[in-house]
Amino acid sequence: MSSTDANQLQQLVSELLDEAKRQGASSAEAGVHAQQGLDVTVRLGETETIEHTNDHGLGVTVYFGQRKGSANTTDLSPQAVKETVAAACRIAKYTSEDPAAGLADPELMAKNIPDLDLNHPWDIDALQAADIARECEDAARAHDPRINNSEGASLHTQNTLFVYGNSHGFVGGYPTTRHNLSCAVLAGEGDQMQRDYWYTSSRLPERLESAQQVGIKAAERTVARLGSRKIKTTECPVLFNADLAPGLLRSMIGAIRGQALYRKASFLLDQLGESIFPDWVQIDEDPHKLQGIASAPFDNEGVATTPRKLIDAGVLQGYVLDSYSARKLGMQTTGNAGGVRNARISSTGESFEDLLKRLDTGLLVTEMMGHGSNQVTGDYSRGAAGFWVENGEIVHPVEEITVAGNLKEMYQGLLAVGSDNQIPGSIDTGSWLIERMTVAGD
């Protein structure tokens, strides 16, 4: 962060808020960010791209009573501050009076901002980054003679600094870092060609999986797909591999977001206090998890975040609300402007191998394709690839199939969540075993 530091960004936020006041706004909120990063890709042993990223942005939302307008720009100059506020004020002349519009209530603003240990910059140059990526790709290519091509391995590191403030007098900001290493390789056998990948991601460079491990995992996943074929259309139990299970939980979170609920665009309407999952399921949100990928001490409106239960004994405990959707629903914000931060679902304790045994005969899904999930109805139909399992043993890889059902029924039919969590992400879960779905193939 050579050209911009925290003080400069704080200064910009207060200038934006002052300027909004000068231009007549009754209240305002502003955010500023600066991000620097390095992205290096190595392919077939050679450095392919070196990208230096360097982004800035400022955004402001102004309120004139119950009318609102917003504007943003990549330009942080003093001139841009004036013009951006003016653009937001102009917009607010035309928007409608909206009783639900406005900042979050002042008493909800975060009062102390805990240090969540999110900032661990990686002092690394392009050559060092390329060496790590090369080690990763080399490990993948050397792992099996059937690995015959590569999309490369990439190392990405970024430092972000952001500051948010509003006219309640709240101002807060903090630096964060994020580092990723990924690898994608191809394998061939006969006339079949397959590709797969693996990755690791962390706030701390030393918490990444090793380059070797990532490469080997990418290779293993790719080679395992060779010989894939379709299966006959059937109904069977389905095991969603741990790296895909977060998507199923995200669909639930999407459906209990305030924006979906007040628009009645949700398959989980009026489910507060109702049983959505079997009674052994607990889902917690922990926005204060130290070093967490999605951790934040306050939300996008300055509201203090708090750890809480989303699901207890299978029953929905609360919605995911920001102040706007909360007012629309006659409720209180849950500090979720910007989303759910670090959700974790309870495990039934089985290892992956135990889950395969419990699946017995059915489908293990390791890849999903497309976006066929309907938030209004819960209808779910997506492309998939994976493995056919009989008597708890993997029999052969499967591709060009779909898995379909309805999310509400899939949640009720959740038989087990494994203890095989693989990638520490914003959603922490093991593999999901679902009682029954329709698998379409031949």
Tell which positions 383-412 bind other proteins, by CB under 8 A: 383, 385, 399-406
Which window, 164-172, 233-241, 301-309, 341-349, contacts other proteins (CB under 8 A)? 233-241
Q: Give whichever of 156 and 289 is closer to other proteins, judged by the CB atom.
A: 156
In angstroms, rounded to a whole number, what is the distance separating the alpha carbons of residues 95 and 169? 25
What is the residue type of 145?
P
- Mode of pairing for the β-strands spanning 427-428 and 343-345: parallel
In angstroms, rounded to a whole number, what is the distance separating the alpha carbons of residues 229 and 385? 9
Q: Give whichever of 88 and 345 is closer to other proteins, judged by the CB atom.
A: 88
Round the CA-based radius of gyration of the chain to a whole number and report it. 24
Q: Give whichever of 6 and 126 is closer to other proteins, judged by the CB atom.
A: 126
How far from chain centre, in Å, is Cα 160?
17
In angstroms, rounded to a whole number, what is the distance separating the alpha carbons of residues 133 and 129? 6
Quote the least distance from Cβ 243 to other proteins, whole Å.
Answer: 16
Q: Give whichever of 315 and 404 is closer to other proteins, judged by the CB atom.
A: 404
Quote the least distance from Cβ 279 to other proteins, whole Å.
Answer: 26
Q: Does the protein bind other proteins through residue 441 (CB under 8 A)?
A: yes
In angstroms, rounded to a whole number, what is the distance separating the alpha carbons of residues 324 and 333? 8
- What secondary structure letter does DSSP report for 26? S
- The contact pattern for other proteins, residues 247-266, with x = CB under 8 A and - = no contact, is ----------------xxx-
CA distances 56 to 20, 33, 77, 88, 296, Å, are: 20, 6, 11, 19, 20
Among residue numbers 263 through 322, which ones bind other proteins (CB under 8 A)? 263-265, 269
The residues with which 316 forms a beta bridge, in sequence order, are 311
Which window, 18-26, 185-193, 244-252, 332-340, contacts other proteins (CB under 8 A)? 185-193
Quote the least distance from Cβ 380 to other proteins, whole Å.
Answer: 9
Other C-beta atoms closer than 10 Å to the C-beta of 232 total: 9
The C-alpha angle with vertex 7 and arms to 5 and 11, in degrees rounded to 5, equals: 120
Quote the least distance from Cβ 32 to other proteins, whole Å.
Answer: 13
- The contact pattern for other proteins, residues 83-122, with x = CB under 8 A and - = no contact, is xx--xx-xxxxxxxxx--x---------------------
Among residue numbers 346 through 385, which ones bind other proteins (CB under 8 A)? 367, 369-372, 374, 376-377, 379, 381-383, 385
Number of helices and strands in the chain (H, E): 9, 17
Q: Residue 259 is encoded by which pair of tokens?
A: 């924006």
Quote the least distance from Cβ 371 to other proteins, whole Å.
Answer: 5
Quote the least distance from Cβ 151 to other proteins, whole Å.
Answer: 6
Using alpha carbons, select from 216, 245, 52, 210 the residue that is nearest to residue 139: 216
Q: Give whichever of 269 and 313 is closer to other proteins, judged by the CB atom.
A: 269
Q: Give whichever of 36 and 421 is closer to other proteins, judged by the CB atom.
A: 36
Quote the least distance from Cβ 48 to other proteins, whole Å.
Answer: 6
- The contact pattern for other proteins, residues 49-88, with x = CB under 8 A and - = no contact, is xxxxxxxx-----------xxxxxxxx----x--xx--xx
Q: Does the protein bind other proteins through residue 419 (CB under 8 A)?
A: no
In angstroms, rounded to a whole number, what is the distance separating the alpha carbons of residues 341 and 242? 18
- The contact pattern for other proteins, residues 31-50, with x = CB under 8 A and - = no contact, is ------------x--xxxxx
C-alpha dihedral sign at 18, 23, 24, 29: negative
